[in-house]
Amino acid sequence: MIQTTFPERGVMAELMAKMLWEIGAVHFSADKPYKLSSGMMSPVYIDCRKLISYPRIRSAIMDFAAATVMRDAGFEKFDCVAGGETAGIPFAAFLAERLGLPMIYVRKAPKGHGRNAQIEGHMPDGARVLVIEDLTTAGGSMFKFIDAIRAAGGVVDHGIALFFYSIFPEAEQRFSNGKVQLHHIATWRNVLAVAREAKLFDHKTLSEVEAFLDAPLAWSGRNGGVSELAL
């Protein structure tokens, strides 16, 4: 099924944020922050993998993703869709179906036996590949997959993250330096706006979340986490 309708960006962002709250994929906890793998302390946490378990929601999100890449990149710009191991794989399958394109997936590292493959599926040399991830913080994991595709002869000029943190300036610089245009549907600001409108949390929690989004490393440092991060 090929998506052909194009909702307003703001509508898609708000609806996705509402969907994430509806299925319990996002969490705010200012008093007991989450410790991330980077060592950062954060009052926010998200699990976009939950989207795959809700057919109506995931269908709408894939509509939004298809509309976003066709409007911003073009209608005939890609030869296949690639998902990164593991979270990006189901979304690559869903989006490839929406766009009527082949799908491949990329391992984090060659599998170490057999053909020692890192890319699974058929990718012709010079194929124009759209890389998809469920979310990206600063682009580090996405570029591991992009670099592998490029090393194997693919061309990557575009990537899409269903959810983009959009709080680290280094992320924009990384994608600019890597010559990849990043597309996304929703960000933490959209999630916060919905939480405020629906009065899901008290004023103190919402204010702490906003303070984190404005200066994440400073907030982390004040709350026992790292204040410097190699992104």
pLDDT digits (tens, 9 = 90+) for 90-117: 999 999 999 999 999 999 888 655 465 7
Q: How far is CA 2 from CA 66, 96, 104, 132, in A?
A: 8, 9, 18, 17
How many Cα atoms are found within 13 Å in the side-chain-facing hemisphere of 38? 17
pLDDT of residue 59: 96
- The answer to whether the beta carbons of residues 81 and 103 sit under 8 Å apart is yes
Which backbone phi and psi does 128 adopt, to 5 degrees?
-90, 115
DSSP class of 117: -
Question: Is the pTM higher than 0.95?
Answer: no
- What CATH number is associated with residue 131? 3.40.50.2020
Q: What percent of the chain has pLDDT over 70?
A: 95
Count of domains observed in the chain: 1
DSSP β-bridge partners for residue 182: 159
Q: What percent of the chain has pLDDT over 90?
A: 84
Q: Does some domain include residue 161?
A: yes
Before 187, cis peptide (omega within 30)? no
**DSSP string over 123-154:** --TT-EEEEEEEEESSSHHHHHHHHHHHHTT-
- The answer to whether the beta carbons of residues 167 and 181 sit under 8 Å apart is no
Q: Does some domain include residue 3?
A: no
Q: Is the model's pLDDT at 139 over the cut of 60?
A: yes
Q: Does some domain include residue 231?
A: no
Give the position of tokens 């699990």: 47
Q: Does some domain include residue 97?
A: yes
How many Cα atoms are found within 13 Å in the side-chain-facing hemisphere of 108? 7
Q: Does some domain include residue 227?
A: no
pLDDT of residue 134: 96
Domain extent, residue 182, equals 9-222
DSSP β-bridge partners for residue 181: 158
